[in-house]
Structure 1
């Protein structure tokens, strides 16, 4: 007799082929300018369109998520690539990971400082090395050996992130809780799934800090049998909770639908460990769950019939939906 699943999770969105997120966090209506709202929608739409072009051309889900995340990395409003946060030493350290659900191959980089699109470097690690995760100087050297253009740190400067660092260094400033990440999940015409995540880290984090985004099973996971997941939130807790893999495991071992599995991890387990965050989780049939214990989750999705939806404000994405 199959297990009953009546706990967390709402109605999943159906017939989705690609979903993206721009990080967990609160964006109440009226809290940002019209220009910034438009920039968020434009950035999410550009990412979805980039993935759509790959899908329409017969590309793989791996190509799709890389293309979508590259667009988000190039956009200064998102905390990845171009818009990366400043660490405590006023530098930028970027992390990313990508995973192929067909054969569970994966690649990741952590603490890179001179690569504009870490997600593409993560894919190079997967396809052109014997390793899964390269970090720091080793990842930078690998990038140069494979022709990845070198970028100086000033490429990543944005005034908004600089102002955030200065505010975070004030004695009365609250402790940063994370949340700035981008990601994508997709399923292609062959039924192959992929997931990708990229981040600029946390404002005022210690140099050398690594969160969940480049760790397979914590911030990113994909398996054709179950789900493709990209997480966002307080990386230390998503690491401890092995959040992305836990969603897949619940589906594999209990038969839970994607909305229940993702909801259980994001709405119960992660808050129980003392943190907030969200995820986008897509199953092989195109059911998408976007649970978040944070007040909001910036996200968007593309359906099989070409419909694009982008959601920025808190009230646009139900916590369990």
Structure 2
């Protein structure tokens, strides 16, 4: 009777533990994210869920294959993010959102935990895979961050695939911009006191946020930034992040993704981190480096440090999430939104994929 009771107790315990918690610690080699935000099962169609799952699965399989073949963590991060940049479901590469002026301006960063070398690009418009441009900056230039037309030119000279800006057009992202512009127009009419029906795309008047500041507040229901953290066979960590930024962004706005220490960081002594969310808050909290510093100086676990930095973001009023993989193969995926597209693969090839906050 006692044995039956013990078995029942164990069954009930594991039934209330999330799949991520069931997996043995220290067994991960690759972790990815595809954005955090209002991701609810009640609003997810079976077809859409299947498409996201397939994309994350392909990305994890690609990165795992690279690691298993003996390639470096940097190679695995680049290859993994390529898959996500080429998939229009995510706000990176092909699926990048549009700026206020109707353009796609992309950002990316990559960091090698072994050498602390890093590279990043921001505001690029013609590079098919910005993560490769970030790697080229890291390996083929004297700099860490290149921006705009100069970064595009550098990528061309470095031999990367260059595309016409129209390559990044997707109808869904364009429709999202039109809705944002319409909302801008409504705000402008209200600010001017006009009773006229707003012209959908009349944004000639300067729009101030509710805090009476220039720019835009975050109105995205989800963040589609993609990222990857990897641990290779030689014990080296790497992290990378790629994004299209925020819909309707203005004034050449750049978020946390291409900023080393804010949205991306890797150090063999501690952890590899990639963030997704409301970039302004991740910048102010220097989230990625702060997580590493907590582990290095306060001897916190990756899980505890991850929770602590996301709590800091939340306290300031920001939202989003991150993935982190430490030097021992322990990982965490904290977020403070309704969900986050995320996944991981273990040393023996077991793939885990999660969407929701449960």
Fold similarity call, TM over 0.5: yes
Q: Does 1:314 align with 2:357?
A: yes
1:8-59 C-alpha deviation (Å, 9 max, x unpaired)? xx96962110010001112111312222111100110111111011011100
Q: Distance in 2 between matches of 1:200 and 1:62?
A: 21
Offset of residue 72 of structure 1: 0.3
Q: Which residue of 2 aligns with 1:296?
A: 339
Offset of residue 180 of structure 1: 2.6
Q: Distance in 1 between matches of 2:82 and 2:136?
A: 14
Count of aligned pairs between the two proteins: 305
1:278-309 C-alpha deviation (Å, 9 max, x unpaired)? 00011111111100011211101100111011
Q: Which residue of 2 aligns with 1:176?
A: 218
Which residue of 126, 137, 142 maps to 1:125? 137
Q: Which residue of 2 aligns with 1:282?
A: 325
Q: Pairwise mapping of residues 1-321 of structure 1 onto structure 2 (< 5 A)?
A: 14=25, 15-171=27-183, 175-177=217-219, 179-266=223-310, 268-315=311-358
Offset of residue 166 of structure 1: 1.2
Alignment CA distance shift 1:231-1:210 (3 Å): same
Does structure 2 retain, via aligned residues, the 8 Å contact 1:230–1:280?
yes
Consecutive unaligned residues in structure 2, runs of 5 or more: 1-19, 188-215
TM-score (norm 1): 0.92
Offset of residue 147 of structure 1: 1.5
Q: Distance in 1 between matches of 2:309 and 2:22?
A: 15
Q: Distance in 2 between matches of 1:290 and 1:169?
A: 33
Consecutive unaligned residues in structure 1, runs of 5 or more: 1-9, 316-321
Q: Distance in 1 between matches of 2:231 and 2:138?
A: 19
Q: Distance in 2 between matches of 1:70 and 1:182?
A: 10
Higher helix share: 2
- Three-state SS of the structure 2 residue aligned to 1:50 is helix
Q: Distance in 2 between matches of 1:209 and 1:12?
A: 41
- Three-state SS of the structure 2 residue aligned to 1:99 is strand
Does structure 2 retain, via aligned residues, the 8 Å contact 1:300–1:308?
yes
Max radius of gyration: which structure?
2
Q: Distance in 2 between matches of 1:27 and 1:314?
A: 8
